[in-house]
Amino acid sequence: MNDKVNLWIVGSIGIDDIKTRDEDRKDLLGGSVTYCCAAASFFARTGAVGVVGTDFPEEFMNRYRRFGIDLAGLQRKEGSTFRWAGAYSDNMIDRTTLKTELGVFGEFSPELPESYRDAEFVLLGNIQPDLQLHVLGQARNAKFVAMDTMNLWLDIARESLLKVIAKVQMISLNDEEARLLTGLYHIRDCAEAILKMGPKYVAIKKGEHGSLLFSSEGVSIVPAYPVKAVTDPTGAGDTYAGAFMGYLAQKGRSDMKTLREALLYGSVMASFGVESFSLERLETLTSAEIEARLAELKAMIAF
């Protein structure tokens, strides 16, 4: 566990209760770091930067370890782990938050272990932008930094958020966030405005409909793999982002060709992820299954 990671990911670690049309599950391992790191671990040596409470089960730590995730960046603090509960509507898209208890995540101050500081690839999950800046400032050699965010920070920490945006190579947002950030309406206008804020790439997430990647080189339409049945969509975007960054880190480059391939791996991994709750599907997933679905997805968009 002491070899250097080539990708680190900061964000939330949570214990989730999730209700869907068909099931009601409690005490699931969740949070953005969980989904991102698990997906990334299929491709690259990945380090987790997050915080858990004293109630965080050792079994969850072992699940991280079985993915080969480096845990040097994981802090354990006195108190409760972040807990979230949500319920999905029948369409498996709209959801209601039933509970948010920040616990130790409310006081999270991410610190990079020495073994992460030279990593070239970084994924800043959705945390307070000042914390994103703080932890990114500890990186000595970051070449490709991607970030996620949410409406809340646009409302209450816009200045800090703009500073992070200016420092990253890529940002992913949904259409509503893109509009809030820019004050513009049409998605292509939004993306062009965000490109001027610093990032070389802007990904507009459309959930089950895939995403659009904007850059000065043009637009890429990234398809979602049409899954047969969604069991739990929680973490799909994180699984997508984690696999994307893991693939870049594995290749050690971020040219457009590599990026596009990484986007397809992101779609594929997310499609597996939603077939189960938490990491359950990823825990049984093989490279052969990944490659088979990638080939299938490529055939679906080969015109």
- Which spans of this chain sit near its own copies (rule: CB under 8 A)? 186-189, 206, 209-210, 212, 218-221, 223, 226-230, 260-261, 263-264, 296-301, 303
Minimum CB distance to its own copies smaller for 229 or for 288: 229
CB nearer to its own copies: give 26 or 186.
Answer: 186
- Identify which of residues 3 and 218 has a Cβ nearer to its own copies in the complex: 218
Q: 7 or 190: whose CB is closer to its own copies?
A: 190
Query: CB-wise, 245 or 297, nearer to its own copies?
Result: 297
In the complex, the smallest distance separating the C-beta of residue 264 from its own copies, rounded to whole angstroms, is: 6
**Residues 126 and 12 sit within 8 Å (Cβ to Cβ):** yes
Q: Of 2 and 228, which CB lies nearer to its own copies in the complex structure?
A: 228
CB atoms near residue 164 (< 10 Å): 23
Q: Token digits for 216?
A: 């000065």
**In angstroms, what is the minimal distance from the CB of 271 to its own copies?**
12
What's the min distance (Å) between Cβ of 267 and its own copies? 10
Least distance (Å) from its own copies to the CB of residue 186? 5
Q: Minimum distance between the CB of residue 216 and its own copies, rounded to whole angstroms?
A: 14
What is the smallest separation between the CB atom of 229 and its own copies, expressed in angstroms? 5
